[in-house]
């Protein structure tokens, strides 16, 4: 099974980019972030061969799960723990016996400040819910834009980011605490010493210079981690005109035949 995450940075404005990549790469499951819309191009996505579920928000945030040749079975919209939270940052579906959680963790800048406080609180809610998911003992993958560079290996010139909300010690520790629950960081597990980036700013030829960040992650539960076969960044779409500032990231897992109920 080929599972991908892609922060599209506006789905309606970059629908042609998304459809082009889907046609070329043919992932089985795709988690999208930053839809930035309450309207979703369901018909166009369906014509591309994918069923879809989404959780949108006007102008900001928004997440979706696409599944090739079938409809995702939605199990949750919104992260539990704050009934007053109106930001669309989490959607979850069951796909062939696997729980797929698609998330867009808050950016948190400027830090310190209210946005950073919200980020840490959201991270705390994610910790609690991730522990609940592990208790289910069902193969699970938490996927998306975490807005965290976990280590200095995950950022070009880390000394320039020490005060940024994506790299502050509190955020890096929150990510480490998540891994301590038993989750496996797919890319770092398979590529422990390699500089791998998933995001490049639009300015100063960041992509051409490979001056990037690794902020898009796959966390696999202990029941899913043994299935991990490969993990890679699809850099080609990042070089297309009018594209997102993120690249798609893809893992492949070998799901046992008896994993599906």
**CA 46 – CA 34 distance, rounded (Å):** 20
Query: Does residue 149 belong to any structural domain of this protein?
Result: yes
Give CA–CA dist 196/193, Å, rounded: 9
The answer to whether the CB of 97 falls within 8 A of the CB of 224 is: no
Q: Range of 151's domain?
A: 2-253
Whether 72 maps to a domain, the answer reads yes
Q: How far apart are CA 151 and CA 145, in angstroms?
A: 16
Q: At what angle do helices 114-136 and 169-180 cross, to 10 degrees?
A: 10
Distance in angstroms (rounded) separating the CA atoms of residues 63 and 45:
14
Q: What is the pLDDT of residue 257?
A: 78
49 in any annotated domain: yes
CATH number of the domain at 135, please: 3.60.10.10
Specify the number of domains making up the chain: 1
Residue 259 lies in a domain: no
- Name the 3-class secondary structure at 107: coil
Residue 28 in any domain: the answer is yes
**Which parts of the chain have pLDDT scores under 50?**
261
Q: Contact, 31 vs 5, CB < 8 A? A: yes
Domain-embedded: residue 260: no
- Integer angstrom CA distances of residue 168 from 90, 145, 158, 163: 23, 17, 11, 6
Residue 261 inside a domain? The answer is: no
Position of tokens 């830090």? 111
Q: What confidence score (pLDDT) does residue 259 get? A: 54
Q: Which whole-number Å values give the CA distances from 162 to 43, 103, 151, 155, 245, in the listed order? A: 44, 24, 11, 11, 21
Q: What per-residue confidence (pLDDT) applies to 157?
A: 96
Residue 245 lies in a domain: yes
Using the structure block, give the residue that is written with the tokens 């992650």. 217
From CA 160, how far away is CA 28, in angstroms rounded? 37
């Amino acid at each position: 099974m080929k599972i991908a995450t892609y922060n599209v940075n506006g789905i309606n404005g970059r629908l042609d980019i998304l459809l082009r990549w889907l046609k070329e790469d043919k992932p089985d499951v795709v988690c999208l972030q930053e839809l930035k819309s309450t309207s979703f191009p369901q018909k166009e996505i369906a014509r591309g061969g994918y069923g879809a579920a989404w959780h949108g928000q006007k102008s900001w945030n928004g997440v979706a799960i696409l599944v090739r040749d079938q409809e995702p079975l939605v199990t949750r919209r919104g992260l539990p723990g704050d009934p007053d939270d109106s930001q669309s940052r989490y959607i979850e579906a069951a796909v062939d016996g696997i729980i797929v959680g698609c998330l867009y963790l808050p950016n948190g800048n400027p830090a310190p400040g209210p946005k950073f406080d919200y980020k840490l609180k959201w991270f705390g809610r994610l910790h609690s819910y991730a522990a609940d998911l592990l208790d289910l003992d069902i193969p699970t993958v938490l996927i998306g834009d975490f807005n965290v560079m976990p280590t200095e290996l995950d950022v070009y010139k880390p000394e320039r980011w020490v005060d940024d909300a994506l790299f502050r010690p509190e955020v890096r520790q929150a990510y480490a605490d998540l891994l301590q629950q038993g989750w496996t960081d797919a890319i770092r597990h398979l590529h422990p010493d390699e500089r791998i980036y998933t995001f490049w700013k639009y300015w100063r030829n960041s992509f051409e210079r490979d001056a990037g960040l690794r902020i898009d992650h796959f966390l696999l539960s202990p029941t899913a981690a043994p299935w991990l076969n490969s993990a890679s960044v699809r850099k080609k779409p990042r070089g297309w005109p009018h594209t997102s500032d993120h690249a798609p990231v893809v893992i492949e897992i070998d799901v046992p035949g008896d994993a599906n109920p």
